[in-house]
Each structure stands twice: as structure tokens, then as C-alpha cells.
Chains A and B, each alone.
Chain A
């Protein structure tokens, strides 16, 4: 079907079955703002792919217990766990990112035991590795790279962190690079390095001022902890950054498909637009946009206007109270549908070539594998 009911223009349809059935598709990244059903979409796609024969793994960063439960898992941890009761020839594994453990493992892999100990016990490392902002993006990408390199799965589905901006993960390698090449880090490590003269030369004029400011701002002990940490980490970061860049390139490769997840509301659609544009800038392969929670009515033939007029007529005349109430309810439903349709149209006008799939709103959340299966079916049937 090239045009949906109520639509006024041809919108390319996102065919998710074609994507998950294509053995060339190795990574699907679900991204979008928080609260739009991103994780559920990722899990439903994973289940559907597995039941259509893929060896799939879902990597989630969302600690929603219910999702783990819906896949029959008592908990998600940093290792992929098999999901039982998957029908067909494929397999499904699921895991939740433990960002601290992932970070610890990188440090242990890249530093000698003494240096690793220094880093792992440093208060700055502990803050960095267990905080929510920034680190989660790096670690999600790192884990994605690990899963891909392991070769155990032929399809990896990942949902991105529910960060302030869902785009942060794209910046991870660059930010890391900026950080490593940053002048600040050179100033901080300068006294510890034998060849620190060049850094001092660069900052000769301002260095005293800056060091003074840092000490005032942070306190002498903090500055010392920071310097120790940064110099210990310096050696490790090189390898870390190379891996982040490798993963970034992996995301640009043809085997990757980005699925932007949205809900038919202004903020979520605006975020989706931004994401679509950003992916194009980064030359990341966009598969399309999934619009979740679309309200439809089984009685679409009865418009909001006619329904409202009829309700008013019955109310003024008296008698058919129930019918009047039902018509009021239906009016509200149709108005909501119309508003959602407008939000979708705004998006489509701005991005006419982006394939779109819609999933109708459910009256309750997904609780079990059957629920995920239903969502998967709705995703694929457009």
C-alpha cells in the first residue's frame, strides 16, 4: 500500500521484514527521544528477526524490568542471555548494558595490572564510570563493537541511551578525541611528562593564571587526584579511542540500519526530524522512521465534526444519553487522531523520501513474549 487512509501524499513505507530478512543487515540501531517505546521496538524487532531465522541479540540500555520480564528473563546483565520459547530456527539473546563493568573491562584490557589498579581506584574514574551522562553512550558503542567482533550473532539490535539528546552517542568518538587532544589534558599531564616542555611553552603566558584558577576552583587535592588519573588514563585512552572510531565507521557501513523511533507528538516528531537530518550529515544509513502509539478508530468513517454535531443534537433533545456520551468520546478520539495526523504530515513534508511505519496505540504495555510478537507483527505489517 503506497498511501494510508486519510493521507494526502505518497509516503514510502518502511518494510522492516525486508530489513531483518536481509542477511546483509548486521546491526540495527533504534534511536529517538525518551518515552517513545524505543526499547520495546528494539526487543520486538529482535524477536521477529529470531523467529524468521536470524541469530539475533538485543542490547538495551534501558533498565526497565518489565521488558526483561517480557522476554522471560529475571534480569538483564552485561552478558547476553538466551530468551526461551522463541519459535522457528533462529535464536534470540538479550542483554542490558552494565556501563561500569564494560568500562572496567576496557581498562583491564588496555593497561598493565598496576596501572589498571591505579585507575580503577581513582575517585575520578569511579565518578566517570558510574555516572549517567556521556559514559553510557561510549560504553553502548563499545559493547556494540564487542558483540560485532565476537561473530556470535548475525544481527545485533541496539537501543540508544535515553540521554538528554538521543544523538550524543554519535558524538562519542569525536568528543573523546577532542578530550584527548584538548589543551587542557596536555596542561594537566604536562608536569608528569618528561617532554612536557612543549605544553608549557604553549601556555607560558597563561599557565600560572590557569593553574591558579584550577586550584581555587577544584582545591589542591582534587587537582592532584585529577592529574594522577589523567596521566594513568592517557596510555589507555589511545586504544579506547581507536576502538570508538572503529565502531563509528562500523555504523556508517552498509550492514547497519538506523531506525528512528518516535511518537506522533510534537516534541518526539521534532526530535525525529533532527535525528534524520543528523544521520544524513554523518552519512549514517537511515532505514526509516517508526511512529509508535498512533491512535486510530474502528469507526473512522464517522468524522469528529459529524460526531460532535450528532452528540449535541441528542443532548439538546434528551433521551439517548449513552449514545451522546459515546459520540462525545468518539469525537475526542477522532480529534486526537487528526492532531497526530498533522504531526506526521509536518514530518513527511520536511522529509518526503524517508520511509515510515506506524504502530497503533495499545491499551496496555507489553508483558510477555506474545505481546512483543504482536508489536513485531504490527511493525512489519504496514
Chain B
């Protein structure tokens, strides 16, 4: 075990959700790297068949198989798994009943299509079942195979239904094997071993969805985790300048002098024109910054730990992923 404390010691299943476009998969990947740092073994799981993990790590599409995809800083491995519901169904049949052949026959007949069409709760229970199996899996000497599992989960609007499998299948199966399986899954998902993290941007709609999602999750008795505010832009201007600019007041005269000093303008009138154009940019920036501050405050009112991840200037590449992982570690989230 590690010497340093993190906010999520004892958590083995990190579920990462977020509204579309907030960078949920990127944050899940960076969190997996951060958790693996210093010699640990982490499994990163995706469930929606989008091959988002492969894209983020710049790899060919992942098969339905756990394989090592990255090495964490200071040693440690990130493994990845792209869960295919059909394959998860076959696993399930084999693991619990030793019936792989019958399972294949069912698949051929369109059982999975059927299950997703008629009862999506079944699909979710298979997918979460496979994930929680990886969390519980132990080696011969009784130690857990993975120190942590990170799940790149469905978006905020669906997360509670997705995780609340017992409830979802309760109407369908009050007794029987599916119910038992759902209870097993629930034993992990609703326990202190799990934390559901939300990824958001500092914008109105994603923040509102995050707060709604948190409330729904808590009401369902599922364990909320932290809030990751993603793609945060650094503000370089002093507060006094920002405050004035947010009110539409920014004097371009001083700026024009600076531009001239930097050799950016051919003459006084040119400097003034550029300064005025930049002033417009500053006012907009200041208004946005003020809005972001308000969004931060609404998120903080939820009482959840919050982490800020920077907007990467060059977009998300492998180097950027390691940068985010480091930021996650520095803030104590892993």
C-alpha cells in the first residue's frame, strides 16, 4: 500500500459519468493512470461499445479481453476492457452454469438484440456484472487481482438507472437467477468500495445536470464520489481587471502602449485598433470567467470534493493524458 493519503482510499470501483462533450472518457483514462501510479494494477472498463478508450490512448480497437494498454508513472499498469454485452452474456452463462454452447445458440437467435430491445435492465446487469466481477476477482493467494477498476459509464442522465440494477430488474424478476445476479452486483455498487464521480464543464447545462445527477444518485442510495471540472482555462488577468471588464469597462489605452512597446504595431492608430479588438476579447473573457466562478460556487454547494483539470492547449494526446493524471494525483483524487 502507499504511504500517501488520497480522498478515495478504500474505493475499488471508480465509476465516471458526465454529460456528453465533457470529456468523461478522457477523465476516466487519466484517473486510471493516476490510480496505477507507483506500481498498482488498474482496470479501465468501457461499456458502450464506442471504443473511446482506444481513441484516447491512440490504439487500435480493443477486443473483449483484458489487456495491458499503458504503463503508469513510477511503474504500475493500466489494463483495459471493452465490454460487449453479448460476450458478457456468454461469460455469465459459462461462469454460473457452465453453458457456453447454449449461450452461443441464444446469441445466434438474437437474444442480445432481444434483451436490449425488450428489457435494457438485463443488458445493464450483464455489463455491471462483468465490471463488479473484475472488482471482486482474487488470485490464488486471496489478493485482489486489480487494486482498482475505473468504469467509463453511460452519461449523467442515465447513470442512476444503469447502476441501480436491482431496482431495474426487480419488476422483471422478483426471484431467480437474474435477481440473484443483480443482488451480487448491487453488493459492490452500493457499497463504500464504490464511488461515482461526475465530470462537468464550468457551463450552465452540464453543471445543472451534475447537480441533478448527484441528487438522483444519492436518493437511490448509491455512493457519490467527486466532481471533476474539466477543460478549465487559466485566467491570466488580475481580478480587478476582470471585474471591471465583466462590467464592460476595459481601457485599451494602456494596452496600446504595451503593444507598441512589443513592436506589434506600426503606429499609434494601428496600436489603438489592435488594442480595441483585444479589449473586446477581454470583456468576453471576463464575462465568461465570472460565469465560471458562479458555476464553481453552485458545484461547491453540493459539498462533494471537487478537482479542476486544465484545458490542454494541444488537445488530448497521450502526453496530455499523463499531464491530467499528474494533476489528479496532485489534488489528492488518486
Count how many chain B residues have C-beta atoms less than 8 Å from C-beta atoms of the other chain. 76
Contact with A along B134-159 (1 / 0, CB 8 A): 00000000000000000000110110
Measured in the bound complex, the distance between the Cα atoms of B231 and A35 in whole Å is: 14
**CB-defined contacts of B106 to chain A, threshold 8 Å:** 184, 210, 213-214, 217
Is A209 in contact with B261, judged by CB distance below 8 angstroms?
no
Please, which residue of chain A has its CB at the minimum distance from the CB of B177?
Answer: A219
A221 interface hit (Cβ, 8 Å): yes
B172 interface hit (Cβ, 8 Å): yes
**CB-defined contacts of A299 to chain B, threshold 8 Å:** 274, 277-278, 280-281
A147 interface hit (Cβ, 8 Å): no
Is B114 in contact with A326, judged by CB distance below 8 angstroms?
no
B173 interface hit (Cβ, 8 Å): yes
Measured in the bound complex, the distance between the Cα atoms of B238 and A250 in whole Å is: 57
B67 interface hit (Cβ, 8 Å): no
Measured in the bound complex, the distance between the Cα atoms of B120 and A127 in whole Å is: 8
**CB-defined contacts of A306 to chain B, threshold 8 Å:** 264
Is B254 in contact with A212, judged by CB distance below 8 angstroms?
no
A206 interface hit (Cβ, 8 Å): yes
Measured in the bound complex, the distance between the Cα atoms of B97 and A35 in whole Å is: 42
B109 interface hit (Cβ, 8 Å): yes
Is A182 in contact with B113, judged by CB distance below 8 angstroms?
yes
Closest chain-A Cβ to B269's Cβ sits at a distance in Å of: 14
A52 interface hit (Cβ, 8 Å): no
Is A313 in contact with B262, judged by CB distance below 8 angstroms?
yes
Interface 9-residue window, one of A149-157, A251-259, A331-339: A331-339
Is A164 in contact with B116, judged by CB distance below 8 angstroms?
no
Is A266 in contact with B173, judged by CB distance below 8 angstroms?
no
B110 interface hit (Cβ, 8 Å): yes
Beyond A132-B120, A184-B114, whether A310 also contacts B263 by CB under 8 A is yes
**CB-defined contacts of B241 to chain A, threshold 8 Å:** 322
B179 interface hit (Cβ, 8 Å): yes
Tell me whether chain B's interface is mostly helix, strand or loop, or mixed.
helix
Is B264 in contact with A178, judged by CB distance below 8 angstroms?
no
Report which of A178, A216, A265, A297 forms a contact with B177, defined as CB distance below 8 A. Answer: A216
Report which of A175, A313, A330, A363 forms a contact with B263, defined as CB distance below 8 A. Answer: A313
Tell me whether chain A's interface is mostly helix, strand or loop, or mixed.
helix
B233 interface hit (Cβ, 8 Å): yes
Please, which residue of chain A has its CB at the minimum distance from the CB of B204?
Answer: A365
Beyond A134-B117, A299-B277, whether A335 also contacts B282 by CB under 8 A is no
**CB-defined contacts of A124 to chain B, threshold 8 Å:** 118-119, 172
Measured in the bound complex, the distance between the Cα atoms of B97 and A293 in whole Å is: 52
A33 interface hit (Cβ, 8 Å): yes
B176 interface hit (Cβ, 8 Å): yes
Measured in the bound complex, the distance between the Cα atoms of B24 and A164 in whole Å is: 13
Contact with A along B208-235 (1 / 0, CB 8 A): 1000000000000000000000000100
Is B161 in contact with A131, judged by CB distance below 8 angstroms?
yes
A327 interface hit (Cβ, 8 Å): yes
Measured in the bound complex, the distance between the Cα atoms of B93 and A300 in whole Å is: 61
Beyond A164-B48, A221-B176, A310-B262, whether A209 also contacts B278 by CB under 8 A is no
Within 8 A of B (CB), among A209-257: 209-210, 212-214, 216-222, 225-226, 229
Q: Which residues of A contact B (CB under 8 A)?
A: 33-36, 63-66, 123-124, 126-128, 131-134, 162, 164-165, 175-176, 178-179, 182-185, 187, 206, 209-210, 212-214, 216-222, 225-226, 229, 263, 265-268, 297-299, 301-302, 306-307, 310-311, 313-314, 317, 319-320, 322-330, 332-333, 335, 339, 363-365
Sample of 14 A–B contacts (CB below 8 Å): A65-B208, A133-B120, A134-B120, A184-B106, A213-B93, A213-B102, A221-B173, A226-B118, A302-B264, A310-B259, A314-B262, A325-B238, A328-B236, A365-B205
